[in-house]
Structure 1
Amino acid sequence: MRNKIRMIAYDAILIAIIILFTFVDYLGYINLGVISFTTIHIIVLIGASLFGYKRGMIYGFIFGLSSLLKALSYPGTANYFFINPFVSILPRVLFGFLAGLTFDLFKKYFSQKTFNILVAPASGVLTFIHTLLTMLCLYLFGILDPFKISAALGLTPLIENGEIMTTLISFISIGSVCEIIAAALLTGGIYLIISKNFKIGLVSEGNFKRKNIETNKNVEKPNSMDN
């Protein structure tokens, strides 16, 4: 019972941070011209690294829902495209699930020391996957169209000059690289601080040792048969 209450408290804290980041300017969403980029994925990564794929999906859903609400509140920018829940919510839920699943697998097969090292680079890779998922959803649901984008953002002159795709790719590339670097630098450090001080999200050494024993047995079986 105490663990459930504690878990609810952790959920409430992370969800509150996501909401705070969403609606405080230049905290969760950073505008670069007419395009905005996010730091909220870092909170999802931290939650997923601590609590696994189920909580990762929840935090991803809240991330997507907050993105949808942000788009409805400020539809005049690139947020306009995230009014579609299949663009704002779906990729974020998938992102949270994949992040949690990745960290769960790491905890199953690696020691705590190795896991601590892997959190940072894994967060960078997962952030890149988040970008790909978002772009894929934009494409699948018919929004990733240069003419629609230029009209919505007031960039029609770029279409006439044939520069719209170059401009968009440049913006997205710069933002994506910044998001990846931020995730790699911050997620690992914050995970270490929280896990060490609050003793949560740690690798279960019992499961790790059991997995090593099973692996060693599988390796020894062929040798015994050869003898």
Structure 2
Amino acid sequence: MIDRKNTTKRMVTLAMFCAIIGVLGMTNVGFIPLPLVKATTMHIPVILGAILLGPKAGALFGFIFGLCSMWQNTFNATSIISFVFSPFSPELDGVGDVLKSIWVTMGCRILLGVVAGLLWKLLKDTKLKRSLSLPIVALTSSVFHTITVMGSIFLLFSEKYAQAKDVAHDAVFGLILTTVTASGIPEAIAAAIIVTALALALFKIVKYEDPKEE
């Protein structure tokens, strides 16, 4: 009976987070256009969901995040570097570029959910209070996501990035660093605050009896 009750709770919570991420991803609430790149709030429910349900669920949430990002940058491309996040972009050259784009838009987002879930599993049984361990997980996961995405763009698309921005190739690293600072830091701080507040509240509501580790 307990296992069935736990399973039902988990499925409802899983569906709820999938819906939230999907709604955010299809609106400008999830992706906020900036001059250099689209800032995002999508990482927040991914991190929160991974903390509540584990790294496997986090991978699913990250996958949905990636699909939404792909959709936005394919059908609502407001940034001149939207091609990085859309494997269907005509600006990509060959299968190699398509695979690189899939990695940036899908792989990095799936990793976000996995890392957030694993970090929480690592810290939740330590002596750290939840009010401290939660922001650590959220902040670290968000920074990891930003560095992974922007680092992948630098390593895989630096030449195309320079062409899109009409700058010298040597200037790409500085632009990437500016983006990390301008959007990555606020995203990380927002994640730390919001995830901590919501997780502390949800832990009291979404409480599983004899939960099994994911």
**Alpha-carbon distance in structure 1 between the residues aligned to 2:190 and 2:105:** 21
Q: 1:181 to 1:2 in 2, by over 3 A?
A: same
More helix by share: 1
Q: 1:176 to 1:201 in 2, by over 3 A?
A: farther
SS of 1:37 mapped into structure 2: strand
**Alpha-carbon distance in structure 2 between the residues aligned to 1:103 and 1:164:** 34
Q: Which residue of 1 aligns with 2:121?
A: 104
* C-alpha RMSD over aligned residues: 2.6
Q: Which residue of 2 aligns with 1:129?
A: 144
Q: Which residue of 2 aligns with 1:200?
A: 207
Counterpart residue type for residue 34 of structure 2:
L
Counterpart residue type for residue 88 of structure 1:
T
Q: 1:139 to 1:33 in 2, by over 3 A?
A: closer
Shift of 1:138: 2.4
**Which 5+ residue runs of structure 2 have no aligned equivalent?**
87-100
**Which 5+ residue runs of structure 1 have no aligned equivalent?**
208-227
CA contact (8 A) 2:36 2:179 kept: no
Equivalent residue runs for 1:57-76 within 5 Å: 57-76=59-78
153, 163, 166: which is aligned to 1:151?
Answer: 163
Shift of 1:101: 0.7
Q: Which deviates further from its counterpart, 86-95 or 27-36?
A: 27-36
Q: 1:15 to 1:163 in 2, by over 3 A?
A: same
**Alpha-carbon distance in structure 1 between the residues aligned to 2:192 and 2:110:** 20
Matched, 1:185 2:193: yes
SS of 1:18 mapped into structure 2: helix
Q: 1:50 to 1:73 in 2, by over 3 A?
A: same
Shift of 1:37: 0.9
Q: 1:97 to 1:192 in 2, by over 3 A?
A: same
Matched, 1:20 2:27: no
CA contact (8 A) 1:22 1:29 kept: yes
Dislocated runs of 4+, deviation >4 Å: 162-165, 201-204
Q: Structure 1 vs Structure 2: percent identity of aligned residues?
A: 25
SS of 1:108 mapped into structure 2: coil
Q: Which residue of 1 aligns with 2:95?
A: none
- Compute the TM-score of the two structures, normalised by the length of structure 2: 0.80
Matched, 1:29 2:31: yes
CA contact (8 A) 2:6 2:208 kept: no
**Alpha-carbon distance in structure 2 between the residues aligned to 1:59 and 1:199:** 18
Shift of 1:107: 2.2
**Alpha-carbon distance in structure 2 between the residues aligned to 1:38 and 1:201:** 30
SS of 2:125 mapped into structure 1: helix
CA contact (8 A) 2:135 2:192 kept: yes
Counterpart residue type for residue 190 of structure 1:
L
Counterpart residue type for residue 6 of structure 1:
K
**Alpha-carbon distance in structure 2 between the residues aligned to 1:183 and 1:58:** 19
The structure whose Rg is larger is 1
- Compute the TM-score of the two structures, normalised by the length of structure 1: 0.75
**Alpha-carbon distance in structure 2 between the residues aligned to 1:203 and 1:130:** 31
SS of 2:39 mapped into structure 1: strand
